[in-house]
Amino acid sequence: MSIITPSDREFAECALKNIFIGSSLDGIKFGVGPRSTFIYFIHYSDKEPDKLWINIEVNKFAVLNNKAKSEFLVFENMRELSEEEAISTILEIRREQIVDISLGENSPSLLISFNSGKCLYINGYDKNVECWQAGDGEGITGDDWLIVAVPGNEIAAWTPDDFELN
């Protein structure tokens, strides 16, 4: 098993923060199959990009009530949610605004913190499947931004040419 490098992690996390902080969870779409969940976010301001999404390929995620980073653990033995459980879980955080977003230290798991104090944890490790993809625009390829938890504990990011770490 490989581990994401600090530079990959830092770049991808900075890209995620840049586009997602301040956006609100705006909708849910049935995924390609019962194992996936597609959620939309939008900036209700002039911030660009304004339309964002996260496609969760493997429904291993949970809403947590503590946004302390010390609680950000790898849930290696998470049970995969059914389609109904996944939709119900997302409904707990509908219309919430993102105040922070972090990647795991040893895997590209996501921890998305909302203004209510709730957090959405999305598993980022699978040896065979992209656990999640995040991007902008309408589709699943991203218009200018695409960050992907790739198989084997890796992270990949495609950003505009002028994007730099802050």
* Beta partners for residue 61, in sequence order: 122
* Beta partners for residue 114, in sequence order: 98
Q: Where are the alpha helices (DSSP H) in the chain?
A: 6-20, 83-91
Whole-number percent of the chain with pLDDT over 70 = 86
- Give the pair of three-digit tokens for residue 116: 């209510």
- Give the pair of three-digit tokens for residue 90: 């997302």
Residue 53 φ then ψ, to 5°? -155, 160
- Dump pLDDT digits (tens) for 131-151: 999 999 887 777 899 999 999
Q: Is the pLDDT of residue 83 over 90?
A: no
Residue type, 11: F
pTM score: 0.89
* CA 133 and chain centroid, separation: 7
Question: Residue 97 and residue 22: Cα distance in Å, rounded?
Answer: 6
Delineate the domains of the chain, giving CATH numbers in brackets.
6-158 (2.30.310)
Question: Residue 57 and residue 128: Cα distance in Å, rounded?
Answer: 11
